[in-house]
């Protein structure tokens, strides 16, 4: 009805009026199309459940090996203590330890991270039996001891609890002290041969491949302090790649796939980011309930778990919880043919990740790779695997193209998952009752916007290249799944529609041009329904997904911010990349924050603090709508016959809502005195540009 209204009441005179009206028609047409895509995704959600007791009854002796890949890149923004907590939580899964292998890829090539891994391998001999004996959750030492209380009901358990906690605190202190010092003391370097590798490194950005097997799970003598076998633990710092520097994670994953195929060769691979510790010790068994299903299991290429974060504030100030995406969109994607692969918390079938096409003739031997017979010494394996992990090994091969994760795209995970689906494999989405993995979300506005800029750039790059689901997926995946991908691939293209709605109606308000029906017109009902029914539904949906009313309002704010900055920059960066004017870059989200920044984040005060083109845009739009709103109120006050209210009410309401949304911007520009306020340069630029725009509209 809104579109019918636009066509029926097109102005017949005045160039500004006509073109503004035509622009509104196309913008609302775009919103309608995107709404249709959203409904298509949410029409048929699937929520899955597992029965782990049946898995144990049928297959406990035949459970397959599982290789776990953890990737890190910089010891400064991804502290070694955080990395080893993730590693230890993976080693402590409720799963036969002789069938687990944990691989850490350190693209930072840091001896500090290697030292932390060495300490973690020693601590694991106490931590793993402690976890299993007390059946604790979660199995990240930091996360567990942060909230757990000493078991006072049993003196023996209390004694062991205090002992293990002291071991962890001592280890953490040593690692953090060494990290702060910036180098590993000489006496510690002499304890392990692996430190000699750093004698030949000129810089962290230029070094040879380093591979050390810290715990050889194939060795019968690899036992914890209670005589039980330990998982394999491997450290890898691969040789630096001259090509695709922004795809460090894809390169790291591909190197780990090659290396693990020689050491453990498990048929199932789990990959996680270094901050995504295991929050559920049964996640592996949950995943295997799907892979080992007698009827459909052999069709599954990967199983994606939700992303969740432990540092989200009560009202989710930056809307980083991704609740709607994880709780609503992804079950819908599962119903339409399978979820996207989102880079972390995903279980893969090795053969699917290595490029093999699905066939009904595929046979699964879950016993393969489960043996622990020593065929080669650890030293020989290390030498062989260094070659497998080198850049020269994959030169002129299908790695990064048809095998492993794909190179050349900022969202290599999405394009890799699409490729797996196009080879005939199914993907599934599983939301466990207890969250499987917990990570760290960005704690500043700029980090959030930059992260979404990378996502939107990569998504749009997929859409406009041969990797588009409509080209790559033609006749290979269902049409409804091809369309479902667009809910994210079309993110960057929404910048124009949102920016138009934030600029043109306010400027037309100052000029007295009406772009919406009069309050007395029956057409107002269509706009009122579209606005209020849609927002009410979104509010109910958000609260149902675990959010708060204030969190929903924060989400509306970030929705506007992302679409006028992240998606705008992502769109043009993707175009420049396509035309060959620039290369994509990968920006790692920092996992640590300064103390004052953390305090403001906990208090839910929006963080600005630095100059950025994104902040220039946000501040200018905020001031433009404030000036227009003031102008509209002035017209209302001076209007004796109430014609302005009838004619321009919706535009005034729109500006008023945008003023409310931008309240943190105004505080940062004019009222805050802390270091998180808007820089003066942003204030001066935004005032100048917004006043200039208003002056042009008036005169």
Which of the residues are catalytic? 107, 413
Torsion of CA 194, 200, 202, 203, to 10 degrees: -20
Determine which helix (DSSP H) or strand (DSSP E) holds 647, and give its type and residue range: helix 643-661
Max CA distance (Å), the chain: 93
Pairing of strands 268-273, 66-72: parallel
> Which whole-number Å values give the CA distances from 119 to 69, 146, 172, 305, 490, in the listed order?
19, 20, 9, 30, 46
Residue indicated by tokens 């972390």: 344
Which one, of 564, 527, 553, lies nearest residue 651 by Cα? 527
Which one, of 626, 627, 644, lies nearest residue 635 by Cα? 644
Angle at 658 between CA 653 and CA 659, to 5 degrees: 95
Cα 476 from Cα 485, distance rounded (Å): 14
Pairing of strands 100-106, 300-304: unpaired
- Under 8 Å between Cβ of 342 and 307: yes
- In the 3-class helix/strand/coil scheme, how is 58-105 assigned residue by residue? HHHHHCCCEEEEEEECCCCCCCHHHHHHHHHHHHCCCCCHHHEEEEEE
- Under 8 Å between Cβ of 505 and 55: no
Which one, of 288, 278, 282, lies nearest residue 308 by Cα? 278
Angle at 191 between CA 189 and CA 195, to 5 degrees: 40
Q: 554-584 as b/e, with b when 16 or more CB fall inside 10 Å?
A: bbbbbebbbbbbbbbbbbebbbebeeeeeeb
Q: 345-370 as b/e, with b when 16 or more CB fall inside 10 Å?
A: bbbbbbebbbebebeeeeeeebeebb
Tokens found for residue 579 = 């035309």
3-state class of 391 per DSSP? helix
The alpha carbon of 267 is separated from its chain's Cα centroid by a whole number of angstroms, namely 25
The alpha carbon of 644 is separated from its chain's Cα centroid by a whole number of angstroms, namely 46
Tokens found for residue 165 = 């906690």
Cα 239 from Cα 625, distance rounded (Å): 52
Cα 90 from Cα 189, distance rounded (Å): 26
Cα 102 from Cα 207, distance rounded (Å): 23
Cα 438 from Cα 321, distance rounded (Å): 11
Tokens found for residue 300 = 């599954």
């Amino acid at each position: 009805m809104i579109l019918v209204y636009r066509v029926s009441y097109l102005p017949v005179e005045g160039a500004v009026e006509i073109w503004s009206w035509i622009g509104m028609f196309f913008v609302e047409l775009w919103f309608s199309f995107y709404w249709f895509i959203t409904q298509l995704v949410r029409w048929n959600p699937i929520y899955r459940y597992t029965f782990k007791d049946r898995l144990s009854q049928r297959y406990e002796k035949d459970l397959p090996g599982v290789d776990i890949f953890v990737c890190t890149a910089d010891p400064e923004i991804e502290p070694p203590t955080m990395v080893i907590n993730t590693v230890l939580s993976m080693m402590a899964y409720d799963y036969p330890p002789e069938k687990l292998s944990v691989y850490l890829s350190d693209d930072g090539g840091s001896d500090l991270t290697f030292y932390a891994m060495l300490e973690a391998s020693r601590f694991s001999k106490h931590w793993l039996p402690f976890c299993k004996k007390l059946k604790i959750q979660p199995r990240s030492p930091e996360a567990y001891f942060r909230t757990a209380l000493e078991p006072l009901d049993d003196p023996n358990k209390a004694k062991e609890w205090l002992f293990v906690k002291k071991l962890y605190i001592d280890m953490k202190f040593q690692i953090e002290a060494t990290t702060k010092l910036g180098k590993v003391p000489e006496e510690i370097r002499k304890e392990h041969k692996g430190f000699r590798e750093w004698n030949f490194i000129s810089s962290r950005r230029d070094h040879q491949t380093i591979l050390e097997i810290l715990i050889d799970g194939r060795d019968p003598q690899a036992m914890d302090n209670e005589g039980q076998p330990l998982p394999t633990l491997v450290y890898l710092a691969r040789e630096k790649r001259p090509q695709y520097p922004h795809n460090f994670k894809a390169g790291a994953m591909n190197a780990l796939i090659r290396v693990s195929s020689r050491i453990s060769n498990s048929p199932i691979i789990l990959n996680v980011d270094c901050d995504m510790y295991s929050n559920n010790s049964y996640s592996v068994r949950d995943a295997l309930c799907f892979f080992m299903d007698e009827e459909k299991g052999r069709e599954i290429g990967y199983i994606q778990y939700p992303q969740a974060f432990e540092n989200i504030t009560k009202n989710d100030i930056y809307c980083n919880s991704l609740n709607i995406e994880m709780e609503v969109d992804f079950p819908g994607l599962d119903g339409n043919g399978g979820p996207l692969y989102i880079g972390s918390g995903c279980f893969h079938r090795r053969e699917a990740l290595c490029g093999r096409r699905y066939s009904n003739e595929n046979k699964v031997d879950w016993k393969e790779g489960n043996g622990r017979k020593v065929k080669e010494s650890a030293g020989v394996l290390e030498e062989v695997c260094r070659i497998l992990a080198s850049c020269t090994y994959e030169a002129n091969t299908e790695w990064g193209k048809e095998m492993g994760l794909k190179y050349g795209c900022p969202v290599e995970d999405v394009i890799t998952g699409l490729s797996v689906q196009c080879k005939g494999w199914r993907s599934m989405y599983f939301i466990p009752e207890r969250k499987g993995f917990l990570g760290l979300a960005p704690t500043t506005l700029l980090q959030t916007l930059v992260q979404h800029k990378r996502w939107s750039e990569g998504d749009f790059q997929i859409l406009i290249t041969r990797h588009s689901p409509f080209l790559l997926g033609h006749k290979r995946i269902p049409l409804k799944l091809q369309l479902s991908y667009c809910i994210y691939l079309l993110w960057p293209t929404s910048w124009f529609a949102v920016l138009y709605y934030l600029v043109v109606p306010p400027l037309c308000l100052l000029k007295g041009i009406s772009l919406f029906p009069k309050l007395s017109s029956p057409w107002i009902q269509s706009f009122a329904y579209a606005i209020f029914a849609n927002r009410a539904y979104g509010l109910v949906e958000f609260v149902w997904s675990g959010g708060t009313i204030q969190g929903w309002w924060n989400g509306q704010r970030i929705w506007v911010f992302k679409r006028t900055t992240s998606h705008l920059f992502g769109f043009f960066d993707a175009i420049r990349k396509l035309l060959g004017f620039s290369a994509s870059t990968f920006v790692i989200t920092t996992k640590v924050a300064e103390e004052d920044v953390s305090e403001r984040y906990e208090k839910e005060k929006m963080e600005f603090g630095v100059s950025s083109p994104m902040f220039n845009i946000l501040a200018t739009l905020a001031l433009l709508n404030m000036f227009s709103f003031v102008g509209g109120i002035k017209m209302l006050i001076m209007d004796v016959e109430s014609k302005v209210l009838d004619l321009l009410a919706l535009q005034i309401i729109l500006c008023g809502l945008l003023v409310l949304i931008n309240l943190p911007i105004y505080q940062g520009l004019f009222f805050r005195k802390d270091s998180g306020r808007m820089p003066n340069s942003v204030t001066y630029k935004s005032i100048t540009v917004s006043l200039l725009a208003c002056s042009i509209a008036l005169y």
